[in-house]
Structure 1
């Protein structure tokens, strides 16, 4: 028994789906429903199969098919060109990728992932985002942090020296998690200013750093 026609809860999205299909029909071009073609509209890591059905259009979107026509790809892009994030969530299209044309959808890139058991355990926590600037020759005091500090380098060079470890040299775009309860100091040994964003999650009102004499 064939799947029932699919309809978006948002009427505007329904119209976009139908308009894209009619556009291909007017040009006498084949559409995915003619041969149940398969389109790669979800990243490879998302293996969940998603089905889009509209009379007489039908897609099963999962792994790529080398026989997919360019018209079918253009049709999918036409449907997605004007989708915003809320529409995408309601249509299960989060994570779908299109061309570089504006789509209103966020594109996420993981810069760093790291497991830790050092975050605060109280019922309430405090999040701080700080911007640090070190001029050439500047250094931080000898200090430690009660919880991990995530460093995202914006510009310049930063040399971090942690007790019992090799020095770490960071450049723009690098991410480093400073461990908790480890004594350290940082230097700008370059000839231009260094800037970095610091992300700190702690118990409320906890000092950002503890000086070590």
Structure 2
């Protein structure tokens, strides 16, 4: 018996539906593939994307050979029921070319195609750095890891480092050198992520708080906090 989700899908004449795969961390569109009823059922059952290959006429699990698995965090169906969006946590590149996304061709003003350099979205980078910080923290070997040494110094040591890095940002910004500002802000963000990990706060928590503030003026936000 099909799942309630599958029962709402409007399959095409070949029993297929397009599935747009989107990175749950940063919102990038990663790839487009096709699902049939069986691959959708496997996706729902296992939590990993499965598709139907129209050329090979067989089911395939994304990453089964390459290791670039896609763990599904959410499945959505569009208003017409004829397109699926799968939000995933992608391991490695999504494209067989090694690109993070299959959509790397960009049309210029004349309609000609060029290959666009893939700029790493800040949210995705912060999430990945945070994961590395957590892994280094778990290893707890100060002799082999800078992050582990920071955690070994305790919270006061971590916060002292943030104060130092914030001062470096101020000096770089006053100097007006964009490259210097970029480097110092990167250092500050890194050490802020260490403090977040120490406090049990994830990048997604901060992103949700920023999203909540959209449409709210800074003055109103401060006033609301003072009331609390």
Q: What's the TM-score bracket when you normalise by the shorter of the two chains? A: under 0.3
Point out the structure with max Rg over C-alpha.
1
Taking CA–CA contacts closer than 8 Å with sequence separation of 6 or more, which of the two structures ends up with the larger relative contact order?
1
Query: TM (normalized to structure 1)?
Result: 0.25
Query: TM (normalized to structure 2)?
Result: 0.23
User: Of Structure 1 and Structure 2, which has the larger fraction of its residues in helix?
Assistant: 2
